[in-house]
Structure 1
Amino acid sequence: MNDINLLPLTSAYLDLILEWRNNPEVRRNMYTSHVISKAEHYAWFKKLESDNTKQCFIFVLNGVPSGFISFVDINLNSKSATWAFYSGNTSVRGIGSLMEVSALNYAFSTLGLHKLSCEVLEFNNMVVRFHEKYGFHVEGVFKKHHFSEGEYWDIYRLAIFNEEWARCKLEINLKKQSISPGSSYRENVFFTNENIIGFSALSGDCNQIHLNKQYAIKNGFDNNLVHGFLVGSVFSKVFGTRFPGDGCIYISQSLSFLSPVYPDDLLEASFVVLSKIGRKLVVETSITNLHSNKKVIDGVAELLISMDSQIGYLNQYL
């Protein structure tokens, strides 16, 4: 389990964060991207000490200073602020998630904010998506607002409200609780003729057994058939969005097609975690037709879960 602390910035850490701040990858994503001198850095800190609208912290992971978090434009009347962060040790897996969660918890639980904002330069679109994963939403874009490297760049303004973070924390907890051996998940689904036609167009599988009811009946079925891989697509949908969720990718999936599925049949997809080793997850998958009570698909999936799902700290800290 990771030990996390946010320590108020003191002069003892100034040289360390100057080294982090002057890293080319960090500077590139800042509004002031030049190499900062020691004198400039110390002058910034002196102003910071007397500014009650700003709070800065050293992010300490397992006893090691590992990043910098700042809150600026703190307005306790409107209960709002803007924040930013950068890591001093990108070799630590998942450190961005740890810092994001720490900052959000501090903002809403300690500062008691109603709204937290941040700004991201357009060329750093991965960070926009990263913030969105933790509940932020884009409020607006300042078009061609920042000049850097010979070009004008858009600035994305994102924000999150306290109730959104509360909801996001719950969703994260549900996902984290879902990735241990023995855990299970179920979801109901059905497929219409419109789904069948759409899948045929996308896949190129225009077999008349799927598209023509009379043709299917002549071949011994009660109705036209839903494509087996269309039925099985519910596995990918659930893995990528629900159980375990974002960042999960397939390694393999076995499928045995046991019984036909017809349009509008109500199905139940079942998932049971068989094992988890590191980021590798093995899940038993099956689909049952609730009308006939027959199993229609059986199989086993091997998955690689996201790095974020590996962060046990989130369970404890959320």
Structure 2
Amino acid sequence: MLDNQPRGTIVIEDLEVGMVRSLRKEITDEDIELFARVSTDRNPVHLDDAYAQDTIFEGRIAHGMLTAGLVSAVIGEQLPGHGTVYLGQTLRFLAPVRPGDMVLAEVEVLEIDYAKRRVKLDTRCLVNGKKVLVGEATVLAPSAKFD
């Protein structure tokens, strides 16, 4: 299940501190398998139930970067959206995401440098209201002057 807000672009001239956009996605076994194939990260904690039971997680978990990819989707599709260039991202993984979890990825505008078109964003992912990932992104936002 994928539930998100309208996609497109919010140009730098229309951005405001405090703006928030989000998407909600259920992490499936297929998502984890596809991410493992694309990334070549086949760590058994993601793919092997028996192996994962004997880890600190006591079960399979999604790749952390799969969860972080949802933040990237919000930035690239909604806030600021199409034409955005990622300059940097910090991440802290606070809790595991498991197959079947519904993840809410949120991005919020913290600071805007209109002259340089740089935007600092608070990034976070939550499962059942609990933060599982937090960080900050810096992006170069698209501009109406360069359409």
Shorter-normalised TM range: 0.7 to 0.9
Aligned pair in 2 of structure 1 residues 196, 237: CA closer, same or farther (>3 Å)? same
Establish whether residue 284 from structure 1 lines up as the match of residue 119 from structure 2. no
Q: Hey, what does 1:210 align to over in structure 2?
A: 46
The one-letter code sitting in structure 2 at the alignment partner of 1:186 is S
**Paired residues of 1:284 and 1:299 also in contact (CA < 8 A):** yes
Q: Percent identity between the aligned chains?
A: 30
The one-letter code sitting in structure 2 at the alignment partner of 1:305 is A
Structure 2, unaligned stretches of length 5 or more? Answer: 1-5
Q: Tell me the number of residue pairs that the alignment of Structure 1 and Structure 2 aligns.
A: 139
Q: Hey, what does 1:228 align to over in structure 2?
A: 64
**Paired residues of 1:178 and 1:243 also in contact (CA < 8 A):** no
- 1:237 Cα deviation from its structure 2 partner: 1.2
For residues 124-273 of structure 1, what are the structure 2 equivalents within 5 Å? 175-176=10-11, 179-273=15-109
Describe the SS at the equivalent of 1:199: helix
**Paired residues of 1:213 and 1:223 also in contact (CA < 8 A):** yes
Post-superposition, which runs of at least 4 consecutive aligned residues in structure 1 deviate over 6 A?
none
The structure, 1 or 2, with the larger RCO (C-alpha pairs under 8 Å, 6+ apart) is 2
For residues 87-102 of structure 1, what are the structure 2 equivalents within 5 Å? none
Larger of the two Rg values belongs to structure? 1
- 1:186 Cα deviation from its structure 2 partner: 2.2
The one-letter code sitting in structure 2 at the alignment partner of 1:288 is L
Distance 1:210 1:178 in 2: 41
- State the Cα RMSD in Å: 2.3
Distance 1:287 1:206 in 2: 23
Aligned pair in 2 of structure 1 residues 171, 253: CA closer, same or farther (>3 Å)? closer
- 1:178 Cα deviation from its structure 2 partner: 6.3
CA deviations over 1:193-236 (Å, ceiling 9, x no partner):
11111111111110000001121111132421100001100111
